[in-house]
Structure 1
Amino acid sequence: MHVFIIAGEPSGDALGARLMAALKREVGRPVRFSGVGGPLMAAEGLESQFPMGELTLLGVMEVLPKAAHVLRRVREVAARILETRPDVVVTVDAPAFSFRVGKKIRGHGLCHIHYVAPTVWAWRPRRAKMVAGFLSHLLVLFPFEPPYFEVHGLGTTFVGHSVVEGAADAAEMKAAGQALLARLGIAPDRPVLVVLPGSRSSEVRRLAPVFGETLALLKARLPELAVLVPTVPNVSRLVREMTADWPVTPHILEAAADKLPAMAIGRAALAASGTVALELALTETPMAIAYRTSPLSAMVFRIMAKLRFANLINIMEDRAVVPEFLQDQCTADNLAASIETLMTDEKARALQIEAMQRVMTALGRGGPAPSTRAARAIVEIEAAQRPAVRTA
């Protein structure tokens, strides 16, 4: 079986690598991979057509100067696919690149499966009809997503979210968190707050100051408070700079292996809005969510967005379980009051934790790994479409 697989960013590289490993287990014949990916996919046997970093570096401000180069890469990848005619083409997220390739190969009798749906439930819903025009099938991470695409005739399979894949249970993660506290020299009876100011420099610059002000208020109420700040390499230096004058000296954690243990041992978390909410839900850490962006960006989002909530736990529950403090509501007074409640009020904590457990179960915890479910779906779809593909 020849699988042409494309990923365009580190998260897609991780998803793609797990999927490749699962396909090798699930396909009943030898599997050959080609396409575009990063180091994790290379470790599973992919020789990338060009460095994935060429796509990863595409931020909003970089699109125009690199547009010609990226479009050339789209043509090159599409040409390789049409030349080699793989059994299945799998694109993993990276819609700006993946969908351009998909449009170029449609109508050529190829089975094209995309993994990770565009968030049409949040904004730009017309994209659902657009992708239905060139995809053979769609694999999605959230159980509420299939109807958005099936109404346009696109077969869609919920496979589960990667956050639940291979994760230890809450007790094991808390034990790892206790070991982390011992390594950091933090007494096990001190209240621990996990602070996550974001993975983008713009997020860190906007949130670190108000988070520092929040800690000043919390320190007066919880004088023994310890603060853990898991971060990522691309903003770690900025995080250290922006937290240097915080009233509670934070423990900055750059190792990826420390992230979940730190979350698990936290009594509560103060976090930038984003997918980190699912990791906090996995570790059953009550949280308050904050976000600030530019006034213009906020106005555009309010006009285009369809969501009642920003936090994925609230979206899944369709109710306000996790406190959200966005834009003008993102103040030190609001954040400190919310965090103090989550640190001290057992009823408030229990309500969040129960919702988190439901969401994790809905996303696939306790069942087959999402990568396994995705691989099985791909095998079934490719086999079912094979006669039509071969005669197209």
Structure 2
Amino acid sequence: MADTQRQFSLVAGEPSGDLLAGLLLGGLKARWPDMKSVGIGGPRMIARGFESWWPQEKLAVRGYIEVLRHYAEIAGIRRQLKARLLREWPELFIGVDAPDFNLELEAGLRSRGIKTVHFVCPSIWAWRPDRIETIRAAADHVLCIFPFEPALLATQGVSASYVGHPLANVIPMTPDRAAARARLDLPADAPVVALLPGSRRSEVRYLAARFFEAAALMQRQRPALRFIAPVIPGLRAEVQQALKASGMEGRVTLLDGQSHEALAACDVTLIASGTATLEAALFKRPMVIAYNMNRLSWRLMHRQQLQPWVGLPNILCRDFVVPELLQDAATPVALAEATLAWLADPARTQALQQRFTVLHAELLRDTPTLCADAIEKVLEG
């Protein structure tokens, strides 16, 4: 088999999945330099030689109501992808996060004899514990990014490995704030707030206006504040519209992507719940986590929540180490007050940074190699 070109298929449905899959492909390329990879992915995957058959943005939809609006198109893509994979028969299918799309696809492929791996354990410990049955049917093996997950899956008869969190390798243990500010042309000594209203269109629609209105309130109290906002290129028009409506146009610097630069440069971030909150924690930055969505989606999701926390930093620390302002609580006034509170309390910030340093060390592993090791064992199966 050593002389045979490996053929893998992957699906990563959003920017955070593209980052994870890009690192995974790095490990696979190191193990099998001439491997071929196809499916659905984003720019980081494509940079690794990945062939994307559909734009990744087609799958980047979140929330029950939002998914329903796009269901026909997404279901059609999944059917076409499954049919093509059954024709081309890759050696392995790897679903990267996006469980609503990938688990059903994995189950269908696995039932026909294609080996499957799911990268990132769905958060059955946070909500929707019934999903374990789906995972058991879908995945030959699960690559877990949090250390407690393999033991939990083992009790349910699911094979799994802890591979560390890829972001812990990407983000330096001690971020260089001064260098990041120089790259973004920000003053070295001004207080900087990073605004991250999300990477999905639905998130921007529900959060961007609130974030910019909160920024306006903050600037009235502290005129020296500087604001930066990383923007996914495809969402720039929506963000600019919200910025103009808030009266903050020209006072918030919009960045083309560059979320890591923004988090490295800032003193505090106002941030949408999701993977970006873990990135902020690894950058050791204080934050205020916010979320707002369609009311019916919120009711359905909130009803299935198993833990008191929503933000990943709080879930991993098992405590409300950073504020969470969700749904109706995410008012511009509340967001502004909670963000300014961090700037007024250096001792609180320092204690949080120490806690996040410990968390970073727990998540730091040679993820690309561990992923390749686990995948090789599945292939040898």
Shorter-chain TM range is 0.7 to 0.9
Instruction: Quote how far apart the aligned CAs of 1:108 are.
Output: 5.5
Cα distance in 1, alignment partners of residues 37 and 142 from structure 2: 20
Cα distance in 1, alignment partners of residues 77 and 341 from structure 2: 51
- Who is 1:379 aligned against? 376
2:23 maps to amino acid = R
- Who is 2:54 aligned against? 51
Where does 1:40-189 land on structure 2 (aligned, <5 Å)? 40-47=44-51, 50-53=53-56, 56=59, 60=67, 61-65=69-73, 67-68=75-76, 70-81=78-89, 86=91, 88-106=92-110, 110-172=114-176, 174-181=177-184, 183=185, 186-189=186-189
Residue 209, structure 1, aligned to residue 209, structure 2: yes
Q: Is the 8 A contact 1:21 1:44 kept in 2?
A: yes
Measured against aligned partners, the alpha-carbon deviations of 1:134-178 in whole angstroms (never above 9, x if no partner) come to 422110112222233211211111112222233334343x13222
| TM-score normalised according to structure 2 size | 0.86
Cα distance in 2, alignment partners of residues 43 and 338 from structure 1: 39
- Decide which moves more: 199-208 or 348-357: 199-208
Q: Is the 8 A contact 2:20 2:96 kept in 1?
A: yes
Find the residue that maps to 1:91 and give its secondary structure.
strand
What is the percent sequence identity of the aligned residues?
30
- Who is 1:390 aligned against? none
Measured against aligned partners, the alpha-carbon deviations of 1:223-251 in whole angstroms (never above 9, x if no partner) come to 21111111111221211121124358433
Instruction: Quote how far apart the aligned CAs of 1:125 are.
Output: 1.2
Cα distance in 1, alignment partners of residues 210 and 55 from structure 2: 36
Shift in alpha-carbon separation, 1:232–1:354, aligned structure 2, 3 A: same
Where does 1:292-307 land on structure 2 (aligned, <5 Å)? 292-307=292-307
Instruction: Could you tell me which runs of 5 or more consecutive residues in structure 1 were left unpaired when the two chains were aligned.
Output: 386-392
- Who is 1:389 aligned against? none
Cα distance in 2, alignment partners of residues 121 and 226 from structure 1: 38
Q: Is the 8 A contact 1:170 1:282 kept in 2?
A: no
- Who is 1:193 aligned against? 193
Shift in alpha-carbon separation, 1:114–1:209, aligned structure 2, 3 A: closer
Instruction: Quote how far apart the aligned CAs of 1:198 are.
Output: 2.0
Cα distance in 1, alignment partners of residues 75 and 111 from structure 2: 25
1:246 maps to amino acid = G
Shift in alpha-carbon separation, 1:266–1:307, aligned structure 2, 3 A: same
Q: Is the 8 A contact 1:6 1:91 kept in 2?
A: yes
Q: Is the 8 A contact 2:121 2:145 kept in 1?
A: yes
Measured against aligned partners, the alpha-carbon deviations of 1:356-379 in whole angstroms (never above 9, x if no partner) come to 212222222xx32x2222112222
Q: Is the 8 A contact 2:228 2:255 kept in 1?
A: no
Cα distance in 2, alignment partners of residues 97 and 228 from structure 1: 33
Residue 251, structure 1, aligned to residue 252, structure 2: yes
Shift in alpha-carbon separation, 1:175–1:241, aligned structure 2, 3 A: same
Cα distance in 1, alignment partners of residues 164 and 22 from structure 2: 16
Instruction: Quote how far apart the aligned CAs of 1:69 are.
Output: 5.1
Find the residue that maps to 1:106 and give its secondary structure.
helix
- Who is 2:321 aligned against? 321
Q: Is the 8 A contact 1:137 1:155 kept in 2?
A: yes
Cα distance in 1, alignment partners of residues 51 and 256 from structure 2: 28
**Among 8, 31, 46, which residue is 1:26 paired with?**
31
Cα distance in 2, alignment partners of residues 5 and 90 from structure 1: 6
1:161 maps to amino acid = H
Shift in alpha-carbon separation, 1:372–1:251, aligned structure 2, 3 A: farther
2:122 maps to amino acid = P
Cα distance in 1, alignment partners of residues 37 and 208 from structure 2: 42
Measured against aligned partners, the alpha-carbon deviations of 1:251-272 in whole angstroms (never above 9, x if no partner) come to 333333x322222221111112
Measured against aligned partners, the alpha-carbon deviations of 1:91-120 in whole angstroms (never above 9, x if no partner) come to 323334433333233355553222122222
Q: Is the 8 A contact 1:231 1:252 kept in 2?
A: no
Cα distance in 1, alignment partners of residues 317 and 213 from structure 2: 31
Cα distance in 1, alignment partners of residues 297 and 114 from structure 2: 39
Where does 1:280-299 land on structure 2 (aligned, <5 Å)? 280-299=280-299
Instruction: Quote how far apart the aligned CAs of 1:31 are.
Output: 4.7
Find the residue that maps to 1:284 and give its secondary structure.
coil
Instruction: Could you tell me which runs of 5 or more consecutive residues in structure 2 were left unpaired when the two chains were aligned.
Output: none
- Who is 2:38 aligned against? 35
